[in-house]
Structure 1
């Protein structure tokens, strides 16, 4: 088993404990709509108090999977277990889950406190308990001054908090979030992501979020399941997903990346440097590449070499005494993004490679500009070999 590289935000990794029991288990779940298979024989474990993300493009099956957990859809085959109990046939209102929808679905004629209290009143809780629970939720989402307002009198971010408070008021064991931040602007969305993490950590609940936003998933999650065409392609902590994708699909879906088609020229499985993985040598249209990585590919095998732009160093000066992990080309385009700049370099053979450079000074006129002939280099552990 690969060693997890994350999460960084807290010391929490029950999935690495062989004796840990999953809180939620999707067991061989398949969901078909006529001839279309939305979820295909999927098995997935989620642990208690985990902030777990289902990440993938539209139509990959992530929302269908969440709706089956909520009880809005029934699996064609397979079982969904919550704390070891089969949820088959249990209606949504009997499940210890609650869902927060992207549209928020607030009652426009009710005040904030009435919106939060609605589900509690439906459950027949005593009025003093409802009042205490509503006050607790208002304090949690920092909306005490807005208790008497109606949704139309709130900003988008405030409405999102009301929806969150209403979802949490019933104290579900699992909170399901379906693209919850999609309607917010970028700055507010980023702020709300950290607020969600704080609330989840404070309450100690299990959160399952569906999103197509990779940055959102990377920010909030303990682990991410990357989905494609109804199956889970990789499950890992955010850092591991980013730094160690297990296939070309995940590498291309998560962040920016350079991918070169290569052939293995040498894979002896021998450690060149003590304490480091074996050295694998590749060739890509005359470019010589060396990677420190354990790789099952044999000599002559067709593979892909993947490297993130921030691992690529760009310079006007040629590398010293090496022709490995280096490329030469012309600066074709530059994207200035404030905290860093992205250089698109057209190599001598016509291929485009990206290099990212942090803007550590306030210089506006950069030393490398359009049309410059530059050298790209990267370290032995900068990229990785993908065999599928």
Structure 2
């Protein structure tokens, strides 16, 4: 496996192998609704057994892309291939895909077992095979004891698992999940994300999920496609998206980040370093910049990579700012400090609450110093 940036959850990276053929391919796909273009000349490869996320704000085209794969919409231009076969003209019910909708769409008058069996009965499978498949799905989603209950007798999380079991019962090659966890509370959503990952790896299926929840995409995905206005902005692993965003848009969309406009002032001590001249300070960044000296660029740094202290760090001439604590958000596991600089700009710094008691906690109005190592920041050229 190729060397990756940040942690990976499994030894799985077929996209790094040029000889590996994609399982799903969107090839120069455009989708128009009248004068509105929802997807613009998009090409994307997804690999077998991959847990892939389409991430972006409302209206970015992610659901339209999924609906075209499912067969509910047809591309205006371009092709969608599954295992090398063009899906043009193939109706949804003949595609080896199944879709789990945000609303779950369970039949209220049917039991859990009948809901799961519905698609199998429509396919006229033998009764014994249906019963075996339903029992298998109930065990997979840990709902064996709820087989006879109706949907209104279940919690939101249990209904979500019934919908998942029904989607998986027909053994599709690709499971499409449209905002599947949006109706769950935060804690249950987090638990269910890990359950989805376990089920996906147990079954060895390809999962494609549409979400606007960054945390959800970062948790479950092998790779993420960040979309905006019908276009792909970046396709990469969660760690690469977070630690090495390729643009201001991706950096700002994923997590919290401080972005300061500046100019590229040339190389640092070696060609592997870049100097960024920002208003009021100079940043030294431990990676080369592709822009020409004097070009407009941006310096970006995540709040958790900034050290916040009352006293000035020793022997630091760059990568340091001074300001006043303007606001504090205590979030339990960490605290976020909003620091106001002399010119009125604000910076965010995050500090882990590793100890329950702090002798001299920082508070509102304190004068503090912000500092960071050269490998903590980023240069963004677009």
TM-score bracket relative to the smaller structure: over 0.9
Q: Say if 2:141 is the partner of 1:147.
A: no
Aligned residue among 348, 353, 362 for 1:354: 348
**What is the alpha-carbon distance in structure 2 between the residues aligned to residue 21 and residue 339 of structure 1?**
43
**What is the alpha-carbon distance in structure 2 between the residues aligned to residue 367 and residue 211 of structure 1?**
38
Structure 1 residues 197 and 149: CA distance shift in structure 2, 3 A? same
Check conservation: 2:267, 2:288, Cα contact below 8 A.
no
**How far 1:5 sits from its partner (Å)?**
1.7
Check conservation: 2:304, 2:350, Cα contact below 8 A.
yes
**What is the alpha-carbon distance in structure 2 between the residues aligned to residue 45 and residue 141 of structure 1?**
29
Structure 1 residues 268 and 319: CA distance shift in structure 2, 3 A? closer
**What is the alpha-carbon distance in structure 2 between the residues aligned to residue 27 and residue 5 of structure 1?**
28
The count of corresponding residues between Structure 1 and Structure 2 is 381
Check conservation: 2:307, 2:371, Cα contact below 8 A.
yes
SS at match of 2:234: strand
**What is the alpha-carbon distance in structure 2 between the residues aligned to residue 141 and residue 6 of structure 1?**
31
**What is the alpha-carbon distance in structure 2 between the residues aligned to residue 130 and residue 378 of structure 1?**
60
Aligned residue among 342, 348, 357 for 1:363: 357
Could you say which residue in structure 1 is the equivalent of 2:313? Answer: 319
Please report the RMSD computed on the Cα atoms of aligned residues, expressed in angstroms.
Answer: 1.2
**What is the alpha-carbon distance in structure 2 between the residues aligned to residue 158 and residue 233 of structure 1?**
35
**How far 1:4 sits from its partner (Å)?**
3.4
Check conservation: 1:6, 1:237, Cα contact below 8 A.
no
User: 1:358-380: per-residue Cα shift (whole Å, max 9, x none)?
Assistant: 00000267521110000000000
SS at match of 2:370: strand
Could you say which residue in structure 2 is the equivalent of 1:125? Answer: 125
Structure 1 residues 270 and 318: CA distance shift in structure 2, 3 A? closer
User: 1:71-116: per-residue Cα shift (whole Å, max 9, x none)?
Assistant: 0000000000000000000000000000000000000000000000
Could you say which residue in structure 1 is the equivalent of 2:325? Answer: 331
TM-score, structure 1 length as denominator?
Answer: 0.96
Name which of structure 1's ranges 371-380 and 5-14 shifts more when overlaid on structure 2: 5-14
Could you say which residue in structure 1 is the equivalent of 2:256? Answer: 256
**What is the alpha-carbon distance in structure 2 between the residues aligned to residue 4 and residue 233 of structure 1?**
20
SS at match of 1:200: helix
User: 1:345-364: per-residue Cα shift (whole Å, max 9, x none)?
Assistant: 00111110010000000026
User: 1:107-148: per-residue Cα shift (whole Å, max 9, x none)?
Assistant: 000000000000000001000000000000000000000000
Q: Say if 2:380 is the partner of 1:386.
A: yes
